[in-house]
């Protein structure tokens, strides 16, 4: 049966925007919930492992899908943004490792009593930042070269 | 910016906003917003509107 629903482009665009904003708010709330449970409440990893796994899966899907579609997931149009995204990636990797180690060392049901050795997270943060900087900087430079070449061709 | 030329072309054919909306497959509010300058339509929608109203893109949408 044919649908008589009108596919109004303006309505579709507004619906997509609302869906996107809802998903962003939901992701931020999920991230804050995991942070509070892990750092402030020192909750057992089993309590927030599902939220954490969903966040990691959602981030991976977003990045991989962006690359598959040929779109940069990060707006890398300035050198400053490359540095900010590198630092953010390093911090997120360190937090992901912390949650994973909490679950591995203390077990999913036990309450995390002692803090993890800090050097592990500092090292993960530094390595993650450096590696993501190398990767993002190469994308940024390649993109810049392409734009310069396009400008030359245009002249 | 208001699109008075589109409104005039529609009235010349004695069409209501609802008629035009149905003909191009959008809601009446979208036509209202295009005519009032509150929404920037896609090229596909512009072409559909031009076909229904018997005008060219230049006639209705080009700001000289």
Per-residue pLDDT of chain A (155 residues; tens, 9 = 90+): 444 566 889 999 999 999 999 999 999 999 899 889 888 888 887 888 888 888 889 888 988 888 788 777 777 778 888 888 889 888 888 888 877 777 777 776 666 555 567 777 788 888 888 988 898 888 888 888 888 888 888 76
Residues of chain B with Cβ-Cβ distance to A4 below 8 Å are none
Question: Does B49 lie at the interface with A, CB-CB under 8 angstroms?
Answer: no
Give the span between the Cα atoms of A51 and A45, in whole angstroms.
Answer: 10
Indicate yes or no: CB of A9 within 8 angstroms of CB of B33: no
Q: Which of A2, A5, A10, A17 is the best substitution to test chain B (most B C-beta atoms within 10 A)?
A: A10
Residue contact A11–B30, C-beta within 8 A: yes
Q: Which backbone phi and psi does A2 adopt, to 5 degrees?
A: -75, 135
pLDDT for res A4 = 55
A12 at the B interface (CB within 8 A)?
A: no
CA distance A38 to chain B (A): 46
Nearest-by-Cβ selection for A6 from B27, B33, B39:
B27
pLDDT of residue A110: 65
Maximum distance among all alpha carbons in chain B? Answer: 29
Instruction: Please tell me the predicted confidence (pLDDT) of residue B26.
Output: 94
The predicted pLDDT at position A2 comes to 47
Count of positions (residues) in chain B: 64
Give the CA distances from residue A59 to residues A62, A77, A135, in Å, rounded to whole numbers and listed in that order. Answer: 5, 21, 17
Tens-digit pLDDT profile for residues B1-39: 889 999 999 999 999 999 999 999 999 999 999 999 999
Question: What does the pLDDT read at residue A99?
Answer: 78
Length of chain A, please? 155
Rounded to an integer, what distance in angstroms lies between the CA atom of residue A91 and that of residue A1?
52
CB contact under 8 A, B30 and A8: yes
Distance in Å, alpha carbon of A15 to nearest chain B alpha carbon: 14
Nearest CA in chain B to A9: B26
Residues A45/A112, Cβ–Cβ less than 8 Å: yes
Regarding an ipTM greater than 0.95, the answer is no
Chain B CB contacts of A6 under 8 Å are 21, 25-27
pLDDT at A103: 75
The predicted model scores a pTM of 0.66
User: Å from B44 to nearest chain A CA?
Assistant: 10
Segments of A18-104 assigned E as strands:
none
């Amino acid at each position: 049966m044919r649908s008589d629903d009108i596919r109004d482009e303006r309505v579709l665009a507004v619906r997509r925007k609302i869906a996107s904003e809802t998903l962003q708010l939901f992701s931020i709330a999920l991230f804050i919930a995991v942070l509070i449970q892990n750092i402030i409440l020192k909750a057992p990893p089993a309590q927030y492992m599902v939220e954490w796994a969903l966040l990691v899966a959602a981030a991976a899907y977003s990045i991989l899908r962006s690359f598959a579609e040929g779109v940069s997931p990060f707006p890398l149009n300035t050198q400053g943004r490359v540095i900010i995204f590198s630092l953010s990636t390093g911090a997120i990797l360190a937090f992901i490792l912390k949650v994973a180690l909490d679950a591995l060392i203390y077990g999913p049901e036990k309450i995390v009593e002692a803090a993890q050795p800090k050097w592990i997270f500092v090292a993960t943060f530094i390595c993650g930042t450096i590696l993501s900087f190398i990767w993002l900087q190469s994308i940024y430079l390649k993109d810049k070269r392409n734009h310069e070449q396009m400008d030359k061709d245009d002249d | 910016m208001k699109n008075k030329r589109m409104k005039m072309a529609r009235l010349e054919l004695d069409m209501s906003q609802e008629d035009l909306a149905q003909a191009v497959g959008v809601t009446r509010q979208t036509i209202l917003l295009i005519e009032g300058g509150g929404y920037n339509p896609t090229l596909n929608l512009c072409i559909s509107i031009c076909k229904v109203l018997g005008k060219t893109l230049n006639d209705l949408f080009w700001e000289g």
